[in-house]
Structure 1
Amino acid sequence: MTVNQRKDEHIIEAIGRCRIIIRNGAVVEVGESQIRDCPLAKRFAFPIPDIKKESVKANIEHRIKAFGMCTPDREVLDNREFVGFGASEILSFALHAGLIDAVVLACDGAGTIVVTKPALVQGIGGRMSGLVSTSPYPSVMDRIEANGGFVLDRENATLDQVAGVALAVEKGFRKIAVTVALPENAATLRRIHPATLIFGVHVTGLSAEEAEMLVSASDLVTSCASKTIREIAGRRALMQAGIAIPIFAITKAGKELIIEKIRMSDEPVLVKPTKLPSLSDNQPDPLV
């Protein structure tokens, strides 16, 4: 492997924590998924009806071609809602409504970033799977900054959500939300930045101990294909959005955000007091 190849490598985990390596705009490795079936994957813009290496590879190649994922041509703006209550949909709405004033998230080609525009949250987060590591692309960072965003580390595209929240505070933001995949980072953020709205993401495969740590520190948690999140977050949640791959609101702040999104929407909604979690028969298989 050449030096240039090493500098242009991205590792993501998608569709049941399937580990995927992309180099120089090409998918070079696809690992085994932890699940066999996912209702959300069947609704992707490029659907995955059966979770096999070939179909996962085709989906990622479609993302690369469609919006430049993991390339210098990466598009960063989008206003479309891909799912009703995804993390990016909820957080972009919160920015639009003025409930928060900055979101810390991860972007391929840029690493940890701070953004203030709903279209940046949706354009980046709405089409991004779990990002493990990435390589820096100045062109992607330039597009983010041209739209009011801030990049934590232009040289290395470092992924560090704790440092990202510190950057948001340094820039003068006070109503900050952050997406967090590592439970220990969520716990650290709750301790040193207690007012931050923490959204737990990319949770498939978490142990009971890890799920406990993430839920205890988060305001909102997505469930992905996680059995432990459904059990631990489900029984503590004040509110649940969705029944196949639900989002759990753990705190009043999280609950109020979802309620406000519902209030501002024209979509029909069923509201029913019930014991949580409330799950449909159409879950990822297996839950892990």
Structure 2
Amino acid sequence: MAEHLVEMAGALVRVKDGEIEVLTDPKVRWCPLRASLYGIEEESRTAVELVLRGHMEELGMYSPHRVLELSDRPVSFGASEMIADGMKAAIVDAAVVVCEGAGTVVAARPEVVAAIGAHMTGLVRTEPIEEVQAGLSERGCILLDDRGTIDQVEGYKRALAAGYERIVVTITGKRAFEAGEIRKLASASACGQAGEGLVIFAVHNLCVSEEDARLLAESCDVVWGCASRPVREVIGKRAKLQIGISIPVYALTDMGKRLVLNRALHFDESLVMHRATLPFGPEEKQPDTLS
């Protein structure tokens, strides 16, 4: 079977033949989001394995039985939730995302984006799973290749070539350089018209350096704070909107604000909004330890 390398809570994990091997210790001791979602009060190798095993059982992740359509929105203001709602509201045409067993994927159906991203952690490397690739293709997705290649810059090119105009691209903080490359491509395409429809989301930003945080601030529309002090200090101060306190989501552009607020419109629970100097949130509500 295929082998996959992922990051969860800062721990490096190998998944192969349905077996989980946590290779390194987590880099956070406590995460408020993971505590809320999974009941994890102290991160450890055992906790990481437990959560990942739950994802595999619930959604068939890292296997030929992968769930590829989902109506649920498990995270209040997660990237896939935001994109799926944006597609339903006709704000977004397509998304360039990453799926284990397939690599970079261009998806245009909200339920597919929701399934791919529901519990997706930081996917570092993946090998092909034929059934996953076939299932995505049957649902109208575009794959870079059949080798499981992860390349969001090439994914954006493929989305443009397919005729999509309003495109969300997700990148990880450790590959912040991709944001600048994608932004340049958009500016150069069709006399810059493609740039008007491009939205870049930066997710999985644990251990992002201050330099990479500045790169993200210059090119991204929405950035997830994760357990990253540089993201809060560099990006939080430039944000036009922050949603959430313990794991803040920062909108840096008007289009970013629009997608965040559209998600709020479709969010069933109560919310409070007020003016504040950003970043906002008491230290005790932040992940432990911030990097």
TM-score (norm 2): 0.92
1:74 corresponds to which of 66, 72, 85: 66
Q: Aligned residue for 1:250?
A: 252
The answer to whether 1:170 aligns with 2:170 is no
User: Taking structure 1 as reference, are residues 209 and 93 closer, same or farther at Cα in structure 2, changes over 3 Å only?
Assistant: same
Distance 1:126 1:147 in 2: 17
Q: Aligned residue for 1:140?
A: 132
Q: Aligned residue for 2:201?
A: 199
For 1:193, what is the secondary structure of its paired residue?
helix
Distance 1:47 1:98 in 2: 35
Distance 1:62 1:267 in 2: 25
Distance 1:267 1:58 in 2: 28
Equivalence map 1:5-44=2 (5 Å) = 8-15=2-9, 17-44=10-37
Question: Over aligned residue pairs, what C-alpha RMSD do you find?
Answer: 1.3
Distance 1:59 1:159 in 2: 24
For 1:79, what is the secondary structure of its paired residue?
coil
- Contact 1:109–1:157 under 8 Å retained in 2: yes
- What amino acid sits opposite 2:6 in the alignment? I
The answer to whether 1:63 aligns with 2:66 is no
Structure 1 position 186, deviation (Å): 0.6
Aligned length: 279
2:236 corresponds to which of 234, 240, 252: 234
Structure 1 position 200, deviation (Å): 0.6
User: Taking structure 1 as reference, are residues 232 and 112 closer, same or farther at Cα in structure 2, changes over 3 Å only?
Assistant: same
For 1:77, what is the secondary structure of its paired residue?
coil
1:261 corresponds to which of 248, 263, 283: 263
- What amino acid sits opposite 1:11 in the alignment? L
- Contact 1:211–1:228 under 8 Å retained in 2: yes
Aligned identity (percent) is 33
- Contact 2:200–2:222 under 8 Å retained in 1: yes
User: Taking structure 1 as reference, are residues 55 and 267 closer, same or farther at Cα in structure 2, changes over 3 Å only?
Assistant: closer
* Contiguous gaps of at least 5 residues in structure 2: 188-194
- What amino acid sits opposite 1:176 in the alignment? I
The answer to whether 1:160 aligns with 2:151 is yes
Hey, which of these two has a bigger chunk of helix by percent?
Answer: 2
- Contact 2:76–2:267 under 8 Å retained in 1: no
For 1:240, what is the secondary structure of its paired residue?
strand
Distance 1:262 1:35 in 2: 28
Structure 1 position 259, deviation (Å): 2.1
Distance 2:128 2:66 in 1: 12
* Contiguous gaps of at least 5 residues in structure 1: none
